[in-house]
Structure 1
Amino acid sequence: MDIKQLEIFVAACDRGSLSQAAACLYTTQPNVSKNIRTLEHELGQPLLVRSGKGVHPTVYGKTVLEYARLIMRTAATITSLAVPDEHVSLRLSTYPSNMIARLLVDFYHAWGDGVHIEHREGTVEEISEDVSRGMSDLGIVYVAQKQVPTFQHILSHKKLEFHPLKKKSICVYVGPGHPLYHEESIAFSDLPKLKFIRGVRDFFSMEHHLERVSMGAIEQSVMNHVVYSDSDHTTVNFLLHTDVCSLGLNFMHQPYEQYAIKPLAINGCEPFLQIGYVRDPDRPVTTYDEWLLTHFKAML
């Protein structure tokens, strides 16, 4: 097994087609097929279901896909360590977020190009691990309120601190093509009728803990997830141009109100997500960290 095989497997899953995976990797379809079959032979189980309509991962393949993404992300992180140590840097790990992207743009305008910006995206576990390993100085996360004690316990073993900032509720985001676009709220009982785009599987994510929210809870097994993606850009485009919706924090940073996307409140859903940041208490908070946290709090 090597990283190239994993990259090919991930591309096939992302594209849903061996030929499209070959095109984006600038190789041939036979080479893609050969690498995936070699990987399947080495692992002893099929990774893909193949049909005339394309390919999709098997149940086992979905698990391998998660670890493959993690391995590729770690490899990219090692490559990013080429940033010279003598340069001053803002080093940050967060969930994929347009709001954070805009915050970093504002940071660049405020401090100019004399400060290197290192931004990584991932799940809560990955963000915490980045801070623990010293690859990031700050990690911005949100966790279900009931899981904060568990989260803090996990962080204590890594000698990290979690600093809560704000509690937020969740909502359903819809675009102009959605039949509920002109509604203001939605009931829990209506959620199984909708089509969702879902992000990474994460023990601390809002979707993982949806069944814990208020009354009228819903099991994830009855929710119709038709798209899985870690890309914020993919999410925005699906919301704008399809009838797919997504779960999200019930607040939208002003610069992104330009999108024709609106939040639907979930009736009876109390604030249950805790937004905060993770840091190593043994590392000093830099002037850049303070700037970023101050402006992030203002956004909230």
Structure 2
Amino acid sequence: MDIKQLQYFMAAVECGSLNKAAERLYTSQPNVSRVIHSLEEELGNPIFLRSAKGIILSSFGEQLSYYAKNILKNVEHMQELSIDEKQKKLNIASYPSGMLSNNLAKFYNEHREENLHIDYKEGTTEQVLDYLSQGIVRIGVVEIAKQQFAPFRHILQNKHLEFTLFRSGKFCLYVGEQHPLYQAKSVPFDTLKDLEYVQENEDYFTSLFYMGKFSSGALDHKDLKHRVHTDSDHCMMHMLKETKLCSLGVDFFSTNMAREVGIHAVAIEGCSSGILLGVVTKQNQELEEIEKIYLENLRSLFAGEQ
């Protein structure tokens, strides 16, 4: 059995006719019939039932078509892998972040002449770690509450991953130009309960539940006036820019980038450092040159140099 036999077989299945299959394959109908007949002889069972009206799959042919379709799909993926190896690749997963996606666009423009291909995914911390352990991505960017670092480290060990710290940060308030606090440098902690929020859906490892543990005040995140919940950073950015809603986040947004997108980070008085930001990779993984360049770019971004 070879790939050609399966390709001819599936063409006949999808076209419902040997003549139409021949047209699709740029060959003759007798040749298609001959290839399929050789497959039937090899497998010892009829694949098609022939009649004056054309061909229909036998019960054996129906089962065979399921496996043939999967085999041809996997062959296609293997061929794509061969093409991909000629490209410089960045496979990244990250927590939802407008700053990271904005920076990635700039990074692409800087390296677009280098045959660069980027696959960028967003998700919760657990989803990012799953992507890494399954080999779907090679770089993960995560935020971790200090209170949750012990269980986070345990998961890393089980999945044979390692974490590199880039910086630690404090909770802050993000507001757009429509918000009355847009020009403010800081707000007292106890005013947070009076504001209205657009907020990302909870991530166990970076939940706002831990915010009260890093402040001089007492705050139950359930008491906050959440008007919009979303797992879309695109939605988050538009809600901040077009409404008077604000969002609780971490002060990783660079000043230059904040100015570009019209989002301002307002410090929360009495809030200490409580969130760790860094990169996760597989243990002992040898990074490609483009990956090393991207990680240095991230270091620069979170150091406020961009």
Partner of 1:95: 95
Per-residue Cα deviation, 1:9-46 (whole angstroms, up to 9, x for no partner): xxxxxxxxxxxxxxxxxxxxxxxxxxxxxxxxxxxxxx
C-alpha separation between the residues in 2 aligned to 1:125 and 1:148? Answer: 13
Q: Percent identity?
A: 30
Partner of 1:84: 80
Partner of 1:155: 156
After the TM superposition, which parts of structure 1 deviate over 3 Å for at least 4 consecutive aligned residues?
none
Greater CA drift, 236-245 or 109-118: 109-118
> After superposition, where does 1:154-193 map in structure 2 within 5 Å?
154-193=155-194
C-alpha separation between the residues in 1 aligned to 2:98 and 2:108? Answer: 15
Partner SS state of residue 235, structure 1? helix
Note if contact 1:206-1:273 (Cα within 8 Å) is conserved in structure 2. Answer: no
Partner of 2:234: 233
Give the CA deviation at 1:95.
1.3
Structure 1 residues 212, 234: closer, same or farther in 2, change over 3 A? Answer: same
Structure 1: state its 5+ residue gaps: 1-80
C-alpha separation between the residues in 2 aligned to 1:274 and 1:84? Answer: 37
Count matched residues.
Answer: 220
Q: With the length of structure 2 as denominator, give the TM-score of the two structures.
A: 0.67
2:287 pairs, out of 285, 288, 296, with 285
Greater CA drift, 163-172 or 180-189: 180-189
Partner of 2:269: 267
Note if contact 1:174-1:180 (Cα within 8 Å) is conserved in structure 2. Answer: yes
Greater CA drift, 131-140 or 228-237: 228-237
Partner of 1:248: 249
Give the CA deviation at 1:211.
2.6
Structure 2: state its 5+ residue gaps: 1-76
Note if contact 1:202-1:208 (Cα within 8 Å) is conserved in structure 2. Answer: no
C-alpha separation between the residues in 1 aligned to 2:209 and 2:203? Answer: 7
> After superposition, where does 1:109-124 map in structure 2 within 5 Å?
109-112=109-112, 114-124=115-125
> After superposition, where does 1:26-175 map in structure 2 within 5 Å?
84-86=80-82, 87=84, 88=87, 89-112=89-112, 114-175=115-176
C-alpha separation between the residues in 2 aligned to 1:184 and 1:175? Answer: 13
Structure 1 residues 147, 120: closer, same or farther in 2, change over 3 A? Answer: same
Structure 1 residues 92, 234: closer, same or farther in 2, change over 3 A? Answer: same
Q: Which amino acid aligns with 2:81?
A: D
C-alpha separation between the residues in 2 aligned to 1:255 and 1:189? Answer: 28
Greater CA drift, 228-237 or 252-261: 252-261
C-alpha separation between the residues in 2 aligned to 1:120 and 1:251? Answer: 19
Structure 1 residues 260, 104: closer, same or farther in 2, change over 3 A? Answer: closer
Q: Which amino acid aligns with 1:92?
A: I
Q: Which amino acid aligns with 1:187?
A: P
Q: With the length of structure 1 as denominator, give the TM-score of the two structures.
A: 0.69
Give the CA deviation at 1:177.
2.3
Partner SS state of residue 81, structure 2? coil
Note if contact 1:141-1:277 (Cα within 8 Å) is conserved in structure 2. Answer: yes
Note if contact 1:178-1:244 (Cα within 8 Å) is conserved in structure 2. Answer: yes
Partner SS state of residue 272, structure 1? strand
Note if contact 1:123-1:200 (Cα within 8 Å) is conserved in structure 2. Answer: no
Partner SS state of residue 294, structure 1? helix
Partner of 2:211: 210
Give the CA deviation at 1:94.
0.3
**RMSD of the TM alignment (CA)?**
1.9
Note if contact 2:171-2:211 (Cα within 8 Å) is conserved in structure 1. Answer: no
Per-residue Cα deviation, 1:139-167 (whole angstroms, up to 9, x for no partner): 00011122222211111111111111101
